[in-house]
C-alpha cells in the first residue's frame, strides 16, 4: 500500500519519542463520520498499535482558525510513539488495515506528519 511504504522508508533509527499528526482537511463538500471515527476507527488504532509503541492518542476537533476564518482541519489526531522505529514497525504490521479503514468514515485524504519534540 502506498501510504504504508511512505512511512517505512526512512533510514532513521531514532529512539526519541515522536508525535504523529494525522490531520483531516475541512471543506463544505467533505464528509466525516465522527461516530464511526470515535467508536470504531480509533479503538482499532489503539488495539493494533498499543502493544507496538503507541503511548497515547489525543483527538482534536477544529472549530476556527486564528484569523476567524473556517478551520483548515476538521479533525486532528495526535499519536505518541516511543520512537520512530516503533512507529515504522507498527505501520508495517497493521498500517494496511488501519489505512484501509479511512474511507469508511471520510472522503478526504488525511495529511500525516511525523514530528519530534524540540523542547
Residue 28 pLDDT grade (very low, low, confident, very high; cuts 50, 70, 90): low
Q: List CB contacts of 95: < 8 A, sequence separation 6 or more.
A: 1, 3, 4, 7, 8
Provide the number of structural domains found in the chain: 1
Lookup: cell for 87: 512507529
Q: How far does the chain reach from its first CA to its final CA, in angstroms?
A: 34
The reported pTM is 0.84
Q: Do residues 22 and 116 lie in contact, with contact meaning Cβ atoms separated by under 8 Å?
A: no
Q: How far apart are CA 95 and CA 59, in angstroms?
A: 19
Residue pLDDT, tens place only, 29-78: 668 999 999 999 999 999 999 999 999 999 999 998 889 888 999 999 99
Q: What is the CATH number of the domain that holds 26?
A: 3.30.70.100
d(CA 22, CA 11): 21
Beta bridge partners of 58: 78
Average pLDDT over residues 6-28: 73
Domain residues for the domain of 43 are 2-116
pLDDT tens for each residue of 88-109:
999 999 999 999 999 999 999 9
Amino acid at each position: 500500500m502506498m501510504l504504508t511504504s511512505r512511512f517505512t522508508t526512512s533510514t532513521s533509527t531514532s529512539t526519541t519519542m515522536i508525535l504523529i499528526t494525522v490531520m483531516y482537511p475541512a471543506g463544505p463538500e467533505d464528509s466525516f463520520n465522527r461516530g464511526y471515527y470515535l467508536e470504531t476507527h480509533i479503538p482499532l488504532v489503539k488495539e493494533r498499535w498499543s502493544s507496538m509503541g503507541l503511548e497515547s492518542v489525543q483527538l482534536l476537533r477544529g472549530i476556527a482558525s486564528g484569523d476567524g476564518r473556517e478551520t483548515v482541519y476538521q479533525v486532528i489526531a495526535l499519536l505518541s510513539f516511543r520512537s520512530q522505529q516503533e512507529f515504522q514497525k507498527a505501520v508495517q504490521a497493521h498500517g494496511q488495515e488501519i489505512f484501509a479503514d479511512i474511507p469508511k468514515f471520510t472522503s478526504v485524504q488525511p495529511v500525516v506528519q511525523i514530528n519530534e519534540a524540540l523542547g
